[in-house]
Amino acid sequence: MDTRISRLLAAAILTVLFAFPLNNAHAQQSYVSRFDAYAGFADIDSPALGLNEQGFHAQVGMNPRSWYSIGADYSEGTGSQLLTTDLLPAALQAQVNGAQAQYIAAHLLPANYKLAVPTDAATQTFAFGPQLVIRHYSKLTLFIRPSLGALRERAVPHPADAFQTVIVGQLAPAGFKLDWTGFYGVGGGFEIAVSKHVGLRAQMDFVYNHPFNDILADGRWTYRYSVGPSFHFGRNTAVGGKKSRKP
């Protein structure tokens, strides 16, 4: 997602969070479904790497009480970035810079050459856990959660010249890199009720992760923006902890 679009979405979320309750201050939700599901568009952005991935986000959840839920979360996205020398650990940077200097001295590379390897990336996230839910407004639901889970990332470099081919051969002998790592952070958002069983959900997660720590010097903060429809079904869960017999 373009940075301007990301900022616009964030501004829209904040606007709804602050403005919407003013028109719904005394209207509480009468129906809280036992189960819900969500599927929508996802944008996964890692600014430190210049990596932006777009894809899909899905959630399933159960509401034991009206004020909290528990569920599973999955997302995936694909995008491209440039692997540059400054992203590497110091020792690896020194090796690459030394080899680059030799190529330049041999007139195999221009004097102002900068390593930048085009790289395709595919990221999947897996999470499970609780979520705090605020249902004081008839048409608006707010929620916040810890974001804890695992990230699977596959990177495929595409060397554009002979020097890049040599470096990629050292960093990714198989022609790709695959890694699993944990992530932690916080997430939240809001949902607007379209009908009793359908809503429109917008949310954002902010997490720290560090895949490929053998070739990337630093971890990164990753933002995930997501928007799409949600679906609610099952018996009515008690508001305030009392179970309702209404369907």
In angstroms, the CA 232 to CA 246 distance is 15
User: Has residue 240 been placed in a domain?
Assistant: no
User: Has residue 19 been placed in a domain?
Assistant: yes
pLDDT tens column, 117-136: 999 999 999 999 999 999 98
Tokens of 230: 């949600």
Q: Which of 5, 41, 46 has the alpha carbon at shortest distance from 211?
A: 46
Lowest mean pLDDT among 23-27, 197-201, 212-216: 23-27
pLDDT tens column, 173-192: 999 999 999 999 999 999 99
Total domain count, the chain: 1
Find the CATH number of the domain harbouring 28.
Answer: 2.40.160.20
| The pLDDT of residue 137 | 87
Q: Which of 43, 70, 79 has the alpha carbon at shortest distance from 202?
A: 43
User: Has residue 7 been placed in a domain?
Assistant: yes
Query: Which residue type is seen at 37?
Result: A
User: Has residue 100 been placed in a domain?
Assistant: yes
User: Has residue 69 been placed in a domain?
Assistant: yes
Residue 39 — pLDDT band, cuts 50, 70, 90?
very high
Contact (CB, 8 A) for 95 and 57: no
Q: Name the DSSP class of 56.
A: E
User: Has residue 243 been placed in a domain?
Assistant: no
Tokens of 186: 């916080």
User: Has residue 121 been placed in a domain?
Assistant: yes
Query: What is the chain's Cα-based Rg?
Result: 23
| The pLDDT of residue 1 | 47
Instruction: Give Cα separations from 145 to 13, 74, 148, 218 (angstroms).
Output: 16, 15, 9, 26
DSSP strand pairing (220-236 vs 140-157): unpaired
User: Has residue 238 been placed in a domain?
Assistant: no
The boundaries of the domain holding residue 135 are 3-231
Instruction: Give Cα separations from 217 to 21, 153, 201 (angstroms).
Output: 44, 16, 36
